[in-house]
Structures are given as C-alpha cells and as structure tokens.
Chain A
Amino acid sequence: MIEIENVSKWYGTVQVLKNCSARVDKGEVLVVCGPSGSGKSTLIKCVNGLESFQQGKITVTGISVGDPATNLSKLRSRIGMVFQHFELFPHLSVIRNLTLAQEKVIGRSHDESVAKGLHLLERVGLSAYANKFPGELSGGQQQRVAIARALAMDPVAMLFDEPTSALDPEMIKEVLDVMVALAKEGMTMMVVTHEMGFARQVARRIVFIDGGEIIEDAPTEDFFHKPRSERAQAFLSKILAH
C-alpha cells in the first residue's frame, strides 16, 4: 500500500532523511518512533507530498508521490492525515470542517456530505458538536473531529503525525480509542507516536528512526523484547520508564 524506498532529503546542506525504506501493507499499522528531531514527522509528510524529497521513491497504491506527473491533490484526497496540532479550520463549524473537502474536492452533494459527516461524528462520539466551532472544543475533541474529517474522504490509508503529543494526558485516551477502533477495522495506518501502549496493541511493525536514519524496522514484539540497536534500547528504556 505505502512503499518508501531509499528516500533521502536535505534542507540545504543538512541531510534530514538518510536512505529511508519502509513499507505498510494493506490493513496493517506501522508505528514510527524515535527521539524528537529525528525526522519521523518529515518522513510521514513525504508520504503525501507535503514535504518533498530529493532522492528515492515513495508509492501509495502504486502511484509515485514524487513524480511530477502525479496528480498530487487527487492522491492526497485518498490519504487521510491527522496532525499534531489538529489543524481544524477555525472559521468553519465542525460539520463544515467535515463537508468542505467532500464537496469541493470529490464533488459530493451537500446533503450526501452532511450525512457522511454526521455519521462520522457519531462514530467519534461527537454528534452533539456538529454546529459548534473548533475553538469551543477541547483538544481531544478537536483531534477526534480531525480524524473524522480525514475519514470523510474515504481514505485508503491514514497518516497520523504525533496525534496525541499536543494533548493533555487525560485526553490522550479518547483519541487513542478512536485510533485503535480504526486499526481493528482494518484501516491501513502509518502512525508517528510515542504512545508505546498503542503501538504494542495495534502495530504490526515498528520503525525506529534516529538522526534521519531508520535504525530498526521490526515486528512489534521483537522491537519491544529484543531491540537490536543500542539507540533503540536506550530510547525504549527512557520512554517506558515513566
């Protein structure tokens, strides 16, 4: 579904991604973790072309992201993305946040978009908030709306860029619950996160990235029980300590 092959990226002379390769098969959850500044957010943003890269190849459902001939907008409309800071549209009501792209990008009728939007709001437990504005919601609620907004486009895969790291601790669970449910339904997901409990629960594989390099790419159980690299061991002991 998502194939990342030998991707390298530079900001000027600074190399931020070094020959990264990873893959996510259909219906599989891949968790990407690593210290901050390691390039994991950059890597996930390369997958839907929000960040460009200079070398290597990324394909999603066989379509090459870096190819200038690719209709990037069309490809993106089929890949959902959830951001660290939610990025809901603050000037639009919650339901409008969910319907705008359905109408303007895939040309669904207004009624159909609203029906879809309401259905998804119900699914993330926020039916009552359809006519509120994002600023009136808590962080956890906003992030659940953001997930619903991405799902409204009927994505073939979902990308999560640190979806819980801007949240207060008591709100993390409500977002993770939605994500776990999504994973159990067989959604293809690539998730940048430090939530190791979540990773353990739903991830098929875990990629550990440090200094722009993929240090380890292992099945979840192996990663937790016998990480091969010292850097991954150090990272794990730090993150699991608390």
Chain B
Amino acid sequence: MFSNFDFDVILRSLPYLFRDGMSFTITLTVMAGSLGLVWGTVLALMRLSDFPPLTFLAAGYVNLMRSVPLVLMIFWFYFLVPYIGQWVTGASQPIRVGAFMSSLITFALFEAAFYAEIMRAGIRSIPRGQMAAAQALGMNYWTAMRYIILPQAFRNMVPVLLTQTIVLFQDTSLVYVLSITDFLGAASKIAQRDGRLVEMYLFAAVVYFAISYAASNIVRSLQSRIAIIR
C-alpha cells in the first residue's frame, strides 16, 4: 500500500527540517518555558500573598489566560503588540516585533499561567509547619521561601512542570498560523512544495511522538531520583 508514497522526500529534507525547523521549535520551547517559569513563579507568589490586590490581579490573569484559545492569543499578540508598542513608546508607526519575538512573548505569557497554577499547588503542598519552623529559627518570609519552601515545592513540581513543558513543545507548532518555519511549518512547506502531504505529516507526527515520549520517560525516571525521603 505504500507503493505510491515517496519516503525519500523525508531523507532529502532532513537537514532543512531539523536545522531550520526543529531548532526553532526547541529554541522557542526552551526560551518560552524559562521566561514562563520566572513569570509563573512571580504569579504564584502573588496569588499566595496576603495582599488582596495582588491575589486578585494574579488570579484574574491566570483565569484570563486559561480561558482564551492559544491560537487566538498568538494572533492577537502578533497583530496587536506592534500597536501597543507604538502607543507605549509614542513612535510614529507600529513597532516591528517580528514573528519570533511575538510568539515568544505569547507562549511565555500563556505558559506562565499554567506554571503558576502548578507552582501554587506545589507550594501549598508543603506542610504549614515547615514555614513555622523556618520562622521560629528567625528566618523571614523570603529567606524561608527561598531555602525551605521553594526547594521542596520545586522538587514536587518538577515532574508536572516538565510535563507541561512537553505540552508546550507540542503547542509551539501552532505558530504555523504566523507562517513561521518551526518543525511542523518546515514539514508543511516541503509537503506542499513536493506534493508529499501524507509522508511529511506522518513523519512530523512520528518525530513529535518520539521526542515527547522519550521526554516523558526521562521525566518519570527523574521523578524517582529527586523525590525527598519522608
């Protein structure tokens, strides 16, 4: 049944697929993941704070991000950020942001909401007595957070955070709506140029599956290695 297919096209386009496509996908995943993690931590701490305006702001942000389709966000940022930039800086014309920057900002802001929720749960899972013990030793809130609560919370959260990052890795393929050459975009371009849709999309699926599956397994083995003995 495969006699009509030309799997050679995959071999010929491998350099382009990986050097252009996959490197973009991974760069975007890692950068958006890192930025999202930082912003997500801030959001989680805001949401857990005792100061109602901060809690309210962070909760509003998280709920907004989680209720808007990601594709819409990508579009929205791509088309609106230049105008917001113009308005903020007072420039005479829309600021050029570029597809990469725009998608990076979008994914970072979007993922932060999910990371924040994971971290909030992680921080809350640490028994209250740990904070009390740290404070009883004279640590202030931030010292206790930094040395006692967050390191433990992170260990609990790492598997979930990495799993979320694997989802992010898959979600970055949505940048195709901006005609960006990520891995899927690259595969798609070859597919249309050479008229080899089935082969290329099949190959793309296999690659996404292989990477995600391998990453999940690494996460699982990591999980048992970093677990705290209780």
B137 touches which one: A45, A76, A135 (CB < 8 A)? A76
Q: Could you tell me if B135 and A73 are in contact, using CB atoms closer than 8 angstroms?
A: yes
Interface residues on B, range: 20 to 34
CA separation between A32 and B151, bound complex, in Å? 35
Interface residues on A, range: 20 to 34
Q: Which of A79-87, A121-129, A184-192 contacts B (4 or more CB under 8 A)?
A: A79-87
How many whole Å from A208's CB to the nearest CB in chain B?
Answer: 25
B136 at the interface (CB under 8 A from A): yes
CA separation between A134 and B139, bound complex, in Å? 20
Known: A73-B138, A133-B229, A135-B230. A100 touches B147 (CB 8 A): yes
Q: Which of B12-20, B126-134, B180-188, B193-201 contacts A (4 or more CB under 8 A)?
A: B126-134
How many whole Å from A83's CB to the nearest CB in chain B?
Answer: 6
**From residue 213 to 230 of chain B, which have CB atoms closer than 8 A to chain A?**
228-230
Known: A73-B135, A76-B137, A91-B155. A104 touches B129 (CB 8 A): no
A50 at the interface (CB under 8 A from B): yes
Q: Could you tell me if B137 and A136 are in contact, using CB atoms closer than 8 angstroms?
A: no
Cβ–Cβ < 8 Å partners of B132 in chain A: 45, 50, 83, 87
Q: Could you tell me if A87 and B147 are in contact, using CB atoms closer than 8 angstroms?
A: no
Cβ–Cβ < 8 Å partners of A90 in chain B: 152, 228-230
A181 at the interface (CB under 8 A from B): no
CA separation between A135 and B228, bound complex, in Å? 8
CA separation between A102 and B196, bound complex, in Å? 67
A77 at the interface (CB under 8 A from B): yes
CA separation between A135 and B136, bound complex, in Å? 21
Known: A74-B138, A104-B139, A135-B228. A89 touches B133 (CB 8 A): yes
CA separation between A135 and B229, bound complex, in Å? 5
Query: Which single residue of chain B is at the shortest CB-CB distance from A85?
Result: B129
CA separation between A45 and B135, bound complex, in Å? 11
Q: List B residues at the A interface (Cβ < 8 Å).
A: 127, 129-130, 132-140, 143, 147-148, 151-152, 155, 228-230
Q: List A residues at the B interface (Cβ < 8 Å).
A: 45, 48, 50, 73-74, 76-81, 83, 85, 87-91, 100-101, 104-106, 133-136, 149-150, 153
